[in-house]
Amino acid sequence: MISDIYSKSNEIISKPEVRNLIRKKLIDYNIGLPLWKYIFMAIFYSFKIDKEAASKILLMVGPPIAEVDPSKIQSLFYEIASLDENKFEELSEWYSKLMLDSGFHFSVTGFLGLMQHK
């Protein structure tokens, strides 16, 4: 059975005031942007190395949220991967800001934690 251990933390982390404070601290302590910049760069390199394999990573995060079209996301990553590697840093920074502002990182952080553990 699915344990209830993460339900409580998910419930608390879903509260807007909690999310706002997390966002503020991630920015104030200069953790959020460098972390996500690093991860985005790794994702862009993955698409550069093996487009097909890297696309599966997007599926692994689970069913996408309703307003996100997975094929559009995939095309976007294909497009970025076709760019010169020296563009990755700038684009990663831009996407990291978007990630933090939209709060989307709350959906994928647990998954990334396990991935790095492996």
Burial of 117 (0-12, 13-18, 19+ CB in 10 A): exposed
- The answer for residues whose C-beta is within 8 angstroms of residue 42's C-beta and 6 or more apart is none
Q: Is 98 in the site for another protein (CB under 8 A)?
A: no
Among 71, 86, 102, 116, binds another protein (CB under 8 A): 116
CA distance 53 to 21: 36
Does residue 87 belong to the site contacting another protein (CB under 8 A)? no
Determine if 9 is a binding residue for another protein (CB under 8 A).
Answer: yes
Measured from the CB atom, the residue of 79 and 109 that comes closer to another protein is: 109
Residues 45-84 as x/- pattern, contact with another protein by CB under 8 A: xx-xxx-xxxxxx-xxxxx---------------------
Placement of tokens 């996408």 in the chain: 64
